[in-house]
Chains A and B, each alone.
Chain A
Amino acid sequence: MYLWRDLGDRGVNMKEIFRQVKINQKNAPYYFLTPVIIIFAIFMIYPIAKSFILSFYEFKAGEYSFVGIGNYTNLVKDNIFKKALFNTLIYLVFQVPVMVFLSLLLAYLMDQSFVKWKAIYRVSVFLPAITSLVAYSLIFKLLLNSEYGLINFLIGLFGFDGVNWLGGNISAKISIMLAITWRWTGYNTVIMLAGLQNIPNEIYEAADIDGANRIQKFFKITMPNMKPIILFSAITSTIGTLQLFDEPYILTNGGPDGATITVAQYLYNSGFRYIKFGYAAAISYVLVALIALLSYVQFKVGEKES
């Protein structure tokens, strides 16, 4: 008797448990988010925190020892790091504005009503964004070859001397910027084009009635409406440039003599060539601080102007 009742009770309990773990409208979102939360916790939040802690440690002979802010003070004195930081900022200051301007120009031209077959232009300029970084870096290495590259050949046709593209202090930086611009301008153009097409035609029509010319319309209508998109492009490009790794790694390997090395590449060298994990973690947190700071500044500037 007792046994039977016991089993019965358990049966009810099992049912109750089953009812609670069953997906219903209340708990469904938690179930649906579980995989993402687990993945983010293990592979995102944990490494972010761990990296921060590691940045206060030194890794030597398989052992970690606490060094306080030692890694950070060493970074301030590290000439290669300063060079990497300088190079990265040079890329940022010159490449991002040029690319944002170019992509806005291309998008604006593609948006003109007399331009037919817009899809062909759109697809063509977008293609560079789909090539793998390694493949395109190899092509650029060939095109920029100082003796046999096509670009120097074309320069020669105009009677000028070829440039030592990948070997000169300044020219190697320009080469890296050319390569990034080639790859990402089309991508940003497509984003800008989407923004331009979202501006209601009525605004332009009203301006036509008021007798506004093309240039007035561009600065009074197009630009103000495009501000959020331009800001988006600028911020994503800035983040991308600050993390720049693949191009200098393959095109120039950071050379000549550190002229093109970036912060991300120096991080890679410190961590995975010289096995200085703590030092590399400190570099990565300088990157985080830079990205946060620059995104904030760009966001504020964008907000103020609009």
Chain B
Amino acid sequence: MIKEKNNSIKTTTAVKVFTFVILFAAVFVSLYPFYQMFVSSTLKTGEILKIPPTMSPGSNLAMNLKNLKDKINIGRVMLNSIFVATVYTFLTLIINSLAGYALAKFDFKGRNIIFVLIMGTMMIPAQVLYIPQFTMMTSIGWANKFRAVIVPALANAFGIFLMRQNMMSFPTSLIESARIDGYSELSIFLRIVLPNMKPALGALGIYNFMSQWGNFMWPLIILSTKDMYTFPVALASLDGLMYKDYGMMMLGASISTIPVLVMFLLFQKQFIAGLMGGAIKE
């Protein structure tokens, strides 16, 4: 039985009231914009832009969807986003866990320098890379291709760091006895180590999926035609129109948010725990 913190000092009512007022306010402020977004996607722009603002659902959802479809090919954008985020997540999990395993469980020449170099790149703002990457992509014919969004982002220091941290605590004795049993190095990794890394892989996978799903600046630079747009770029293009149809824009924002929202709510516990190295307790 874990003894609870601060239990010996009587918590006064004032402290409790203060605590809950602050916490409820934080929850309200965090969630209200989502509510507003979903509600607005069912309203006419005239209902949104009025005093007082409409705060309950309306009946304009179908019309907003029709307008949205006129402006952007929502099905195509959805497929583009899913494709880019899924392929990116899958590839980055493979190469990050391989690298994390090598850095955590092998003693070899150059290990520290490789690790320090990789970690050092976390300090480099992505904007530094954009000009040379843009020139490179154009010259190798990758401009306006999904691989231009996916491949450079695979240089993901955070993922390598996270996998390495998780691999460190994997018992070395298990790896050694598998070697004695005649397992090859690759099958030790695939059949012994990787199956035990599911929580970390899950957390990193969700994290990578979400970050690629919301990725904006680089796709904005490198994707130039409408049929290649991912959600953030397509949404931003709606905002650039002369007449701002907020009902339609909020519907677009809602559609782009729902997949990651559902994913997060389903896996939130594993996700947060995985990212914090299992430090979260109930």
Contacts and interface: CB of A to CB of B under 8 A. Distances in A.
Nearest to B261: A130
A132 B136 contact: no
Interface stretch (B48-56, B58-66, B68-76, B197-205): B48-56
Contacts of A24: 185
A253 B132 CA distance: 25
Q: Would you call the interface of chain B mostly helix, strand, loop, or mixed?
A: helix
Interface residues of B, number: 101
Contact of A39 (B102, B154, B214, B250): B154
B84 interface: no
Contacts of B4: 113, 201
A101 interface: no
Interface residues of A, number: 103
B2 interface: yes
Contacts of A288: 123-125, 128
B7 A28 contact: no
Given A51-B131, A105-B22, A43 B152 contact: yes
B269 A284 contact: no
A239 interface: yes
A239 B123 contact: yes
Given A138-B239, A142-B36, 18 more contacts: A28-B106, A29-B103, A111-B5, A126-B268, A127-B264, A130-B260, A134-B236, A138-B249, A142-B40, A142-B48, A143-B36, A148-B53, A153-B53, A250-B239, A264-B217, A277-B131, A277-B135, A291-B125
Interface of A: 23-26, 28-33, 35-37, 39-40, 43-48, 50-51, 54, 105-106, 109-115, 118-128, 130-136, 138-143, 145, 147-150, 153, 156, 182, 185-186, 190-191, 193-195, 197-198, 201, 204-205, 208, 213-214, 217, 239, 242-243, 245-246, 249-250, 264, 267-268, 271-272, 277, 280-281, 284-285, 287-288, 291-292, 295
